[in-house]
Amino acid sequence: MKNLLVFTTLLFSTQVFSRPFCVAHRALGYGQLENSLAALTAASRSGAEAIEFDLHHTKDGKTVIYHDKKLDRDIKGKDCPIKKEVHEIHSKEIRALCRLVNDEVVPTFDEALQELSKGESRLFIELKDTVTEDDFKLIKKYYSDRPEKIFIISFDEKILAKVTAKQKTDDYFSKTKTILLKKYGYFGSLKEIDGIDAKYIHKSKVKRLIKRGKIVGVYTKDTSDKIIKYLLKGAQFITTNESKKCEDIIDQMFP
């Protein structure tokens, strides 16, 4: 273990972050329902270093916290339009007819940021369909003095291009980070995107990207073996459903 600690300490001494950190996938790991306000609150109040959650936009342009395209999982309400996609449903319908299985309403982006801004966690905000000017305004409203806490992530490079364009024209957003989600380690330059969150990535690619000043993380690693494996590859963050386990491992490896 002593040699392992020396190795990992040296490995991270030249990287962007002083030590790797865990990202609570969908705010899981603290005993509450994914992407619920209860989960976001529990993760934040438990001191999670980073919290990931998902954004979708309704028919009237409101932003809600939910992972899937349709409201057909973790939802109850006999009149909830679960066969429609979120972008086809008015926000008032969702509010009036749908409930999460923990009896909460589907939280809005505004409600989530209002609660999360009370804590110090980094936010990994996953854009599922688009990003709006209202989204940018809400981020600035609640995190006006902490742009470094904001990581905007997506599988869609076109959506991230809207964010990188904003970074060029807005000094606040120039201090936030963009992260591209990819299943496999990326072979391109990433250009203006600040980093990558991959499901699988080779150690050599991690080193190459970090050397170019990019941020490198992996998703979704839940077993101790996988978490340790990717930390040893040099991953700077681990997205996980098992936040406390991940935190304990990092505390042991990076005391």
pLDDT per residue over 148-195, tens digit each? 999 999 999 999 999 999 999 999 999 999 999 999 976 678 999 999
Please report, for the chain, the start and end positions of each structural domain, with discontinuous segments joined by +: 2-253
pLDDT per residue over 97-136, tens digit each? 999 999 999 999 999 999 999 999 999 999 999 999 999 9
- What residues does 181 pair with on adjacent strands? 197
Query: How much is the pLDDT for 16?
Result: 72
pLDDT per residue over 45-58, tens digit each? 999 999 999 999 99
Pick the CATH number of 2-253 from 3.40.50.740, 3.50.30.30, 3.30.540.10, 3.20.20.190: 3.20.20.190
Say how far apart CA 225 and CA 137 lie, in whole Å.
41
pTM (whole model) above 0.85? yes
Confidence label for 17 from pLDDT (cuts 50, 70 and 90): confident
pLDDT per residue over 31-47, tens digit each? 999 999 999 999 999 99
How far apart, in Å, are the Cα atoms of 214 and each of 152, 156, 168, 192, 228? 14, 18, 18, 10, 21
Query: How much is the pLDDT for 186?
Result: 66
Count CB atoms within 10 A of the CB of residue 233: 18
Q: H/E/C letters for each residue in the chain? A: CHHHHHHHHHHHCCCCCCCCEEEEHHHCCCCCCCCCHHHHHHHHHCCCCEEEEEEEECCCCCEEECCCCECCCCEECCCCCCCCEHHHCCHHHHHHHCEECCCCCCCEHHHHHHHHCCCCCEEEEEECCCCCHHHHHHHHHHCCCCHHHEEEEECCHHHHHHHHHHHHHCCCHHHCEEEEEEEECCCCCCCCCCEEEEEECCHHHHHHHHHCCCEEEECCCCCHHHHHHHHHCCCCEEEECCHHHHHHHHHHHCC
